[in-house]
């Protein structure tokens, strides 16, 4: 195609062109004026193409050789080093230094965070230890005191049980339980009609006979008053005795 | 050594690039010898014959080849690849120049319109070469690159299409447009019209 163009434009004038040649170049030049212009341009460009452009090759080539050596010189065992610290790149753009800065940042961040947590933990541990040191020696004492009390109570209860050997006093075995539970048991025992009736009606008889303890005495024994200081003779509720007026309100007539 | 040099000279551009990527200095030297002058001439024509800038462009292009030889696809022609890189560098340079031009226009005082007599005087004084490159640089980049590749580097339509990654029809239409424009701008030099 190019050779055909050259042949066409080598002709002297537009009139010499055949119809096929004119149609072939119609896209480029449609009339004689345009044909002459293009022809002149091509002839002028033939002189231009011979115009030399001389590159100052030495300075450019020496710079390029230096770069080539810097990149490829360390290809033996130091490829990683040359990758991390390429000589051409500026200092801040060297991957090795960038990685080093990143690692320093990460480690400082990690250790700073870690130290913060360690401080808190040590503080917590230190405070816990102080609390344990303060409370530690007392607790065993309390425990030992409680144990001693419990032992004392159990021994006293055993003594009571042994001395009285009453079916009512079997409940005293549970006195090791807390007082609330005991009081609830006592309430249950009091709510039972048999015991109450017996306690009310046989009280006079029971009081007289020293061998069988009265319910009030049992109650006193349960509530621990006998332990308080030997006040076995005192009653919480006054005994009815012969004063029957106290019983007036208790009887309901239908 | 001479035998090795002969061997290097006999190798194709693509084979040399393979050796260059492995760090062969001789291959790089041969590539430089083959293309430095050609590329410098191309840059000179494309960048208004600014010699220092064109030397820098040649340096930058070969530095790219040294640093990133893997960017070159061995299955492709090195000639079209290296000129496509050069074209892209020219495009970027035009963008920079246009930015500078816009910025500088804000501060430069308005120039007085040249009279017809001045224009005629300038036309007569200047050589065809100066006018031609001036007219060439007045073209936009896509037409200029097609024209330069075709007429200065001797690329075929197919090679231009491959270099610029456009189809051959587009190459042809751009080439015709550039030729017509240049021919009409340089018609003052035609002896027919000067008579």
Give per-residue pLDDT as tens, A38-70.
Answer: 888 887 777 775 666 777 778 888 888 888 888
Q: B136 or A152: whose pLDDT is higher?
A: B136
Q: Which of A146-160, A197-211, B90-104 has the highest mean pLDDT?
A: B90-104
Q: What integer pLDDT is reported at residue A75 of this predicted model? A: 58
Average pLDDT over residues A126-140: 72
Contact A169, A213 (CB under 8 A): yes
B63 contacts in chain A (CB < 8 Å): 64, 67
Count of beta carbons in the 10 Å neighbourhood of residue A42:
16
pLDDT at A47: 72
d(CA A86, CA A96): 9
ipTM of the complex: 0.71
Give pLDDT tens digits for B158-179.
889 998 889 988 998 898 899 8
Residue A36 has pLDDT above 70, yes or no: yes
B73 is written with which tokens?
A: 């696809």
Cβ within 8 Å of residue A24, ≥6 positions away = A4, A8
pLDDT, chain A, mean: 67
Q: How confident is the model at residue B180 (pLDDT cuts 50, 70, 90)?
A: confident
Residue with tokens 């050069």: B86
Best residue of B66, B70, B184, B188 to probe chain A, by most A CBs closer than 10 Å: B66
Mean pLDDT along residues B109-119: 50
CB contact under 8 A, B183 and A40: yes
State residue A56's pLDDT score. 74
Share of chain A above pLDDT 70, in %: 42
Write down the domain spans for chain A. 2-47, 166-239
Q: Which one is predicted more confidently, A153 or A62? A: A62
**Per-residue pLDDT, B72:** 87
The predicted pLDDT at position A137 comes to 57
pTM: 0.52
pLDDT digits (tens, 9 = 90+) for B44-79: 888 877 788 888 889 999 999 988 888 888 788 899
Polymer length in residues for chain A: 254
Q: Which residues of A touch B190 (CB under 8 A)?
A: 36-37, 40
Is the pLDDT confidence value at B112 over 70? no
Q: What is the pLDDT of residue B22?
A: 82
CB contact A64 to B (< 8 Å): yes
Q: How far is CA A82 from CA A69, A72, A85, A130, in A?
A: 11, 9, 5, 58
Which residues are CB-contacts of A121 (< 8 A; sequence separation ≥ 6)? Answer: none
A213 and A232 in contact (C-beta within 8 Å)?
A: no
pLDDT for residue A233 is more than 90: no
Could you tell me the domains of chain B? 1-75 (1.10.1740), 117-188 (1.10.10.10)
Nearest by CB to B186, which of A41, A53, A71? A41
B interface mutation test: which of A31, A40, A52, A70 has the most B CBs within 10 A? A40
């Amino acid at each position: 195609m190019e050779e055909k163009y050259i042949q066409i434009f080598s002709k002297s004038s537009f009139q010499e062109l055949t119809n096929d040649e004119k149609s072939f170049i119609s896209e480029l030049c449609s009339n004689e004026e345009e044909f002459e212009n293009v022809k002149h341009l091509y002839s002028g460009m033939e002189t231009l193409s011979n115009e030399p452009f001389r590159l100052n090759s030495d300075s450019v080539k020496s710079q390029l050789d230096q770069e080539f050596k810097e990149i490829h010189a360390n290809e033996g065992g130091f490829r990683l080093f040359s990758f991390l610290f390429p000589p051409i790149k500026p200092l801040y753009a060297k991957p090795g230094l960038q990685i080093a800065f990143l690692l320093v940042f990460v480690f400082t961040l990690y250790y700073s965070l870690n130290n913060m947590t360690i401080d808190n933990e040590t503080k917590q541990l230190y405070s816990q230890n102080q609390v344990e040191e303060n409370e530690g020696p007392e607790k065993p004492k309390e425990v030992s005191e409680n144990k001693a009390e419990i032992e004392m109570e159990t021994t006293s209860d055993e003594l009571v049980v042994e001395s009285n050997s009453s079916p009512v006093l079997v409940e005293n075995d549970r006195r090791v339980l807390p007082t609330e539970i005991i009081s609830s048991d006592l309430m249950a025992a009091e709510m039972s009609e048999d015991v109450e009736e017996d306690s009310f009606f046989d009280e006079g008889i029971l009081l007289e006979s020293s061998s069988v303890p009265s319910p009030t005495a049992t109650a006193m024994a349960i509530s621990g008053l006998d332990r308080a200081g030997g006040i076995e003779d005192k009653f919480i509720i006054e005994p009815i005795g012969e004063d029957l007026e106290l019983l007036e309100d208790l009887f309901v007539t239908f | 050594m001479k035998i090795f040099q002969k061997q290097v000279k006999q190798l194709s551009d693509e084979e040399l690039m393979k050796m260059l990527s492995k760090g062969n200095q001789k291959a790089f030297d041969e590539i430089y010898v083959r293309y430095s002058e050609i590329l410098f001439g191309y840059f000179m024509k494309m960048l208004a014959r600014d010699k220092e800038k064109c030397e820098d462009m040649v340096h930058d292009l070969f530095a790219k080849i040294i640093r990133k030889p893997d960017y070159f696809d061995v299955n492709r022609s090195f000639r079209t690849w290296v000129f496509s890189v050069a074209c892209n560098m020219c495009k970027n340079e035009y963008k920079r120049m246009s930015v500078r031009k816009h910025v500088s226009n804000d501060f430069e005082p308005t120039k007085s319109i040249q009279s017809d007599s001045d224009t005629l005087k300038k036309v007569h004084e200047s050589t065809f070469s100066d006018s031609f490159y001036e007219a060439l640089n007045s073209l936009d980049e896509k037409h200029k690159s097609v024209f330069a590749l075709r007429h200065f580097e001797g690329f075929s339509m197919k090679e231009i299409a491959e270099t610029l990654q456009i189809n051959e029809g587009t190459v042809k239409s751009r080439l015709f447009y550039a030729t017509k424009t240049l021919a009409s701008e340089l018609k003052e030099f035609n002896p027919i019209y000067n008579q």
